[in-house]
Amino acid sequence: MSKYLIIGPSSQLLGMRIAKLLNIETITTETKKFPDGENYLRLNIDDESIIEGNDIIIIQTTGASTKENQNARIMELFMMISAAKRMNPQNLTVVVPYLAYGRQDKIFRPGETRFASVIVKMIDSLGIDKFYTVDVHAPDILNDFSIPAKNLDPTTEIANYVKVLNLNNAIVIAPDKGAV
């Protein structure tokens, strides 16, 4: 059984670095927008049998960028999962370094939605085998998955790196009260 890393359009550099560290082959993607604004995504492969029966990892961050907003990034993720799943991999693991809508994990006012849970359930419904994210705002939303889901916490590694820099009067800034 072989292992391949499908690198999403929002995780090109990270995906290449991970593939090099893991010494695995990569599959890139082709994307475009149709005139009506719909997204198009294709896995850059000539033979779909390379996915069948193999371990496939997809990496795609869903945060906004200068090119696309988080909604487009999520749709790209769904398209990659759907394309890979159709080709019958042995295992399909999804890595989402930043999970869009992850901060919408609570209802504060009447009429709001706990949309982080909706996103998790949508990803889960596509039939993946494992899910990883990094420093998700509310790790308990991962309990909505029916498959193994893990939040990777980089705090210790970042703290060790900052120590090595030997900075004086370093300041840590967080987006909200519960972040640090």
pLDDT at 3: 97
pLDDT at 179: 65
Bridge partners (DSSP) listed for residue 7: 59
Token look-up 């059984």 returns: 1
Indicate the DSSP class of residue 137: S
Spell out, as residue ranges, where the chain has pLDDT lower than 50: none
Q: pTM for the whole thing?
A: 0.91
Tell me if 54 sits within 8 A of 3, measured CB to CB: yes
pLDDT at 6: 99
Structural domains for the chain: 3-153 (3.40.50.2020)
Residues 98, 41: Cα–Cα separation, whole Å: 20
Residues 103, 160: Cα–Cα separation, whole Å: 26
Residues 175, 105: Cα–Cα separation, whole Å: 15
